[in-house]
Amino acid sequence: MTFKQSAWRPRMMRTASITAAAALTVPLAFGAQAVLTPAAQAQEAAAQEASAQEAEEAQHPGWEANSSRRTDRVGFELTGNPGSVSVNDRFNVGLKITNSTEDAIENVQVTARRGVEVTDAEQAQQQLAHGDFPFYGATLFPDSLAPGEETTGDIDIATSLDDSATLAIDKPGFYPIMLSLTGTVNGEPVALADDRFLLTVTEANGQMPEDSGAATASTLVYPITAQTNIAPGEVGDNPLVLSDESLAEQLADGGRLDRLLDVYEGHNLGDGACVALDPALLDTVERMSAGYNVAAEHPPIVKERKRLRDSWFRGNDYDSGVPGTGAEDAERWVERVSDLDCIIAMPWANSDPNAVSRVSNNWLEVEAIERGAETIRSITGKEVASDIVVPASGYSDQTSESEMPLLLADNTGWEGNAATFDANQAALLAQTGRKPQTTAYTDPWLRYDFNTDSIHARDLTAAAAVFLSNGAGDSKQDDADSDTGSTGSNRAEASPTVIKLPNYLEPSTAEAVLDAVDKLPQLRPITDVELETTDQEPGLPLDNTGEQMLSDPTAFTDPEVQRIAQQARYTDELTLMMENSEDIAMTRYGFTLPLRRDLLAALSMTDRVSLHSHDEATETANHRLQEDNVVLRTLRDAVTLIPPGNVYTRTSDASPLLVVAENSLPLPVRAKLEYDSIDAVRLNTSDDIVIPAEGSITVSLTASMPERQERTNISMWLATEDGATISEPVNIAVQTRGGIVNIYGAAIAAALVFVFALVVKTSRKKKRGRQT
């Protein structure tokens, strides 16, 4: 079976660099954008949210593509991992069958079949997605199954040519295996399900031949991440609040994160392996060790004003939840991580660097890519072993301001320097666990619902994939280069092959892979991996016409990115309207930093890259953004302008106009007073009003009013030095007491004239009466 290779377009090289310190000092040109009031911001946020939801309803194509794999009609899975098998040996596989249909199944049969030997990862993918499996081996005949009934059993499979009903494997190598489940339903024979995996066949001594992929020097990247589930809307240095105890469960003895360290520590890989750690996970677990609460939300940021009588009858409406139970396990886990010999960083919260770059926010990109090394150093006391950052997406289609190199698939293009891994090998490794990843950098023809195969089956495949790199990525690139004449990836021959495990890793997969890595004769440190350049267009592979041949079903949509960009802008505006104070330890950047990290959590790839958890991930991100938007509006509303009343009466034209500026934020706010009125009104406003933290200040304004008796309406609001609106406008009517006196005097005079006329008229009538 042959498959078409793709050709790549050459691209122009560009350079871009920015350090973390420089990014934090880049001025943001807010004045070039429309100035919105908090109410207008709320309307814009609602529109962005609706647009993002509509985009999610029309999902990206490419999850299952055109694979010939069928969806299983019944439950069928391996109950164990037999590991590798020596040539001519037998192996035993445990099975579980569940009749999830409404009909009885009779004449149940399980048949072991194999396909032709594969020599590289791409061939392995093709066999798992489209293989024929023409060689038949052992057969098992379970009892009939009633609807809802479940049964378990074992099938003993022979491989030697001397056995009957054998898979006929006569040499070491890697063989695709299919366990096929058939039966009759209502008298009709049907194919019910199958489970496919790669079987590693070793020499009699349990080792691979020297001419296999095992002869290639390798280094292993071992990622560790998890959803931290910090309650959305955190600001400042508030105590940690988690929305649930799922992270504590993973840290507990026997939990996922605990077992991942057990597996890593249990294999003596020396400097041939390195942990790629999510800095957001490490930071959260370290905070957990000091104690935390489990609640739906954080304590109120701004205290609500209450009338005295309301405080008598209503208590605090905030539900503080319950104390967390995982502090001790968190402390122990951080200590174990600190003892690791090699750590490199993931993007913060396993966020997607492509989406972060599309947001176009310097501060957010610094937090995503560059904050990790600093966090690891401050908590563990150790420097990262390499500046290489490990994203889940495996490709980069954006120009980044960061100088940190990414670890990317070798069939993709990128700007500047990058480290690479074999794309097809990594795809096989990513198809594992409870959340198998659909990798964007592999052929859609090879994609299907990877949960069709059981977890143990995919773990067997992952173990075999360790040996299936063997320079496959380089040969593929060479084929592409021959079609286009480009030089392709400039990879140093001395650089070891990177075995890249998925960013969300299951302990069972880790155990299977590291058992295989133990058989590799040559492991080298991550520091030996040399960075590469490429002439290929940045992003996923293109064909020779320049068309995009691959699709990324996990990519963030434009409305999603625009919504996050909007909230990042609001966060920046909030940051810049505050002032640092020598008397307050917290800085303005530190106060809003958790809000930026919430945005990165919304850009996390941890659950988004898997078919069956993608929708839940988008809903979780949507909820986080909704809550953060409420917090941003609350913080903007915390700075207010309080007028002296709806009508302000001055004693004379020289009397000042008094207003109060109030600030409920924990840092001072620098602002200026803006106003709008008829042309004849002039307010001499201060260009620099510093409102103290959690305090207020009275602002005295001199006013020039038109010479008229009626009231003059003025609209006033607080704004930043750049003109961005801070507070909602307040409207007041101003009048002068002198004008009021004139009006009253005229009214009294008119009344006196009326009374005098009435008296005269009355006296005349009386006089006529007497004369009559």
Question: Per CATH, is 75-207 categorized as 3.50.50.60?
Answer: no
d(CA 518, CA 719): 64
Q: What DSSP line would sit under 141-172, residue for residue?
A: -PPPB-TT-EEEEEEEEB-STTSSSB----SS
Token representation of residue 204? 């009699």
Q: What's residue 667's pLDDT?
A: 95
pLDDT in tens, 345-364: 999 999 999 999 999 999 99
pLDDT in tens, 84-104: 999 999 999 999 999 999 999
Q: What's residue 642's pLDDT?
A: 87
Range of lowest pLDDT (111-115, 180-184, 312-316, 739-743): 739-743
Q: Which residues contact 625 (CB under 8 A, 6 or more apart)?
A: 49, 563, 564, 567, 598, 599, 602
381 pLDDT above the threshold of 60:
yes
477 pLDDT above the threshold of 70:
no
SS (H, E, C) 659-713: EEEEECCCCCEEEEEEEECCCCCEEECCCCEEECCCEEEEEEEEEECCCCCCCEE
Residue 713 pairs in a beta bridge with 733
Residues in the chain: 772
Q: What's residue 682's pLDDT?
A: 75
- Please name the helix (run of DSSP H) or strand (run of DSSP E) that holds residue 31, with its range, or none: none
Tell the burial category of 453 from Cβ atoms under 10 Å away from its Cβ (0-12, 13-18, 19+).
Answer: buried
- Please name the helix (run of DSSP H) or strand (run of DSSP E) that holds residue 328, with its range, or none: helix 327-338
Q: Which residues contact 313 (CB under 8 A, 6 or more apart)?
A: none
d(CA 324, CA 292): 5
- CB atoms near residue 270 (< 10 Å): 11
Q: Torsions phi, psi of 484, nearest 5?
A: -110, -15
47 pLDDT above the threshold of 60:
no
Q: Torsions phi, psi of 52, nearest 5?
A: -65, -40
- Residue 65 is classified by DSSP as T
What are the extents of the domains in the chain?
Answer: 20-65+215-223+254-286+328-422+469-543+556-627, 75-207, 639-738
C-alpha closest to that of 52 among 714, 725, 626? 626
474 pLDDT above the threshold of 50:
no
145 pLDDT above the threshold of 90:
yes
State the angle between helix axes of 614-637 and 588-602 in degrees (0 to 180), rounded to the nearest 10: 160
Confidence of residue 410 (pLDDT cuts 50, 70, 90): very high
Range of lowest pLDDT (295-299, 430-434, 651-655, 767-771): 767-771
d(CA 197, CA 177): 5
Are the beta carbons of 633 and 233 closer than 8 angstroms?
no
Q: What's residue 19's pLDDT?
A: 35
486 pLDDT above the threshold of 90:
no
Confidence of residue 484 (pLDDT cuts 50, 70, 90): very low
By three-state DSSP, how is residue 565 classified? helix
651 pLDDT above the threshold of 90:
no
Q: Torsions phi, psi of 679, nearest 5?
A: -60, -30
Q: What's the order of all strands across the beta sheet hosting 682-684?
A: 639-642, 657-663, 695-704, 682-684
The separation between CA 591 and the C-alpha centre of its own chain, rounded to angstroms, equals: 21
Confidence of residue 136 (pLDDT cuts 50, 70, 90): very high
C-alpha closest to that of 428 among 399, 453, 464, 385? 464
Question: Per CATH, is 20-65+215-223+254-286+328-422+469-543+556-627 categorized as 3.40.50.12500?
Answer: no
Compute the CA torsion angle 22, 25, 29, 30 (nearest 10 deg). Answer: 130
- CB atoms near residue 499 (< 10 Å): 26
Higher pLDDT, 464 or 302: 464
Q: What's residue 676's pLDDT?
A: 83
> How far is the CA of 62 from the CAs of 129, 428, 439, in angstroms?
14, 17, 10
Using left for φ > 0, alpha for ψ between -120 and 50, and beta otherwise, residue 713 falls in: beta
d(CA 13, CA 168): 52
Q: Average of pLDDT values for 628-642?
A: 92
Average pLDDT across the chain, whole number: 83
Are the beta carbons of 389 and 345 closer than 8 angstroms?
yes
Confidence of residue 67 (pLDDT cuts 50, 70, 90): low
Sign of the CA dihedral with 677 first, then 733, 740, and 660 last: negative
Confidence of residue 214 (pLDDT cuts 50, 70, 90): low
Residue 764 pairs in a beta bridge with none
d(CA 686, CA 705): 18
d(CA 588, CA 577): 9
Do 75-207 and 639-738 share a fold?
yes
Q: What's residue 59's pLDDT?
A: 43
Q: Average of pLDDT values for 743-766?
A: 57
Q: Torsions phi, psi of 443, nearest 5?
A: -60, 125
pLDDT in tens, 598-620: 999 999 999 999 999 999 999 99
> How far is the CA of 511 from the CAs of 298, 367, 421, 426, 753, in angstroms?
38, 32, 21, 16, 107
Residue 690 pairs in a beta bridge with 670
Confidence of residue 473 (pLDDT cuts 50, 70, 90): very low
pLDDT in tens, 509-532: 999 999 999 999 889 999 999 999
The terminus-to-terminus CA distance of the chain in angstroms comes to 137
pLDDT above 90: percentage of residues in the chain = 63
Give the chain's largest Cα–Cα span.
156
Confidence of residue 479 (pLDDT cuts 50, 70, 90): very low
pLDDT above 70: percentage of residues in the chain = 78
Tell me the CATH architecture of domain 639-738. Sandwich (2.60)
Tell the burial category of 281 from Cβ atoms under 10 Å away from its Cβ (0-12, 13-18, 19+).
Answer: buried
Q: What's residue 24's pLDDT?
A: 37
Higher pLDDT, 200 or 728: 200
Higher pLDDT, 443 or 591: 591
Confidence of residue 772 (pLDDT cuts 50, 70, 90): very low
Compute the CA torsion angle 270, 274, 279, 285 (nearest 10 deg). Answer: -40
C-alpha closest to that of 456 among 483, 433, 490? 433
Q: Which residues contact 730 (CB under 8 A, 6 or more apart)?
A: 641, 642, 643, 659, 715, 716, 717
